[in-house]
Amino acid sequence: MKTIADTWPVVKGDYTVGNPKSRIAVVTLASYINPSPEAALWGSSKTENLGVEKIVANVISNSNIRYVLVCGTESRGHLAGHSLLAIHSNGVDEKRRIVGSQGAIPFIENISEEAVRRFQQQVVLIDRIGLVDSEEILKLVNKYKNKGEAYSDEPMVVCSPKKRRPTLEAPTSGDVIISEEFVMDTAAGIVCQAENL
């Protein structure tokens, strides 16, 4: 079974790629903490909307990732860590607001509810918000990096549901044609398979 998307990670962000076969990804929120190559992904997230979306998109496109360590200092006002925990526990409502998030603008616009459900099913979040001790973080990475099996479904690659175009003849500003098969939504930083070419 394929466990990693062909173009993984699928969304650009402020992160370092480590071992794609690792079972753990690390989100350091507003803190910079030296990355470990033992984690699949390691990086910051400062926003409760795009930051959360990027984490979800990159995690579900790698079925090897079964744990997400949320650590570091919370971002003021945005509460990216709290919002990540809330979307994992509660999902989004009919207005696409993260249920239970206290962040300033906790609205999800670029990933589907199906992607959110996949994230909820695929990973366990390890809530260590406030932890900045790199030795303690590395101990957690080492504890979880080989724990369990890959998720049973193949990687899920998501595109922005609101930004899909029925044709690529007249892309709007911010869309980039990469090839006959792929386009990029530069606002979201997501590469999608082109439709109706």
Tell me the per-residue pLDDT of 28-51, one tens digit each, with 9 for 90 and over.
999 999 999 999 999 999 999 999
* Structural domain containing residue 96: 15-144
Task: Assess whether 77 and 171 both reside in one domain.
Answer: no
Task: Assess whether 168 and 110 both reside in one domain.
Answer: no
**pTM for the whole structure:** 0.80
Mean pLDDT (the chain) is 88
Quick one: DSSP state of residue 146? T
- In the prediction, which pLDDT does 162 show? 40
In which residue are the tokens 């080492």 written?
A: 142
**Closest by CA position to 118, among listed 138, 143, 91:** 91
What's the CA angle centered on 113, arms 112 and 115, to 5 degrees? 65
If pLDDT is split at 50, 70 and 90, which confidence band does 20 have?
very high
- Does the structure show a pLDDT above 50 at 171? no
Residue 2 within any structural domain of the chain? no
The stretches of 29-129 forming alpha helices (DSSP H) are 50-60, 80-90, 113-122
CA 59 to chain centre: 5
Q: Given 101, 121, 144, which residue is the final one in a domain? A: 144
Residue 3 within any structural domain of the chain? no
Task: Assess whether 41 and 88 both reside in one domain.
Answer: yes
- In the prediction, which pLDDT does 127 show? 98
The phi and psi torsions of 168 (rounded to 5 degrees) equal: -105, 10
Residue 152 within any structural domain of the chain? no
Query: Given its phi and psi angles, is residue 129 left (phi above 0), alpha (psi -120 to 50 degrees) or beta?
Result: beta
Task: Assess whether 139 and 191 both reside in one domain.
Answer: no
Query: Given its phi and psi angles, is residue 77 left (phi above 0), alpha (psi -120 to 50 degrees) or beta?
Result: left
Q: Note the pLDDT tens digit of each residue in 104-134.
A: 999 999 999 999 999 999 999 999 999 999 9
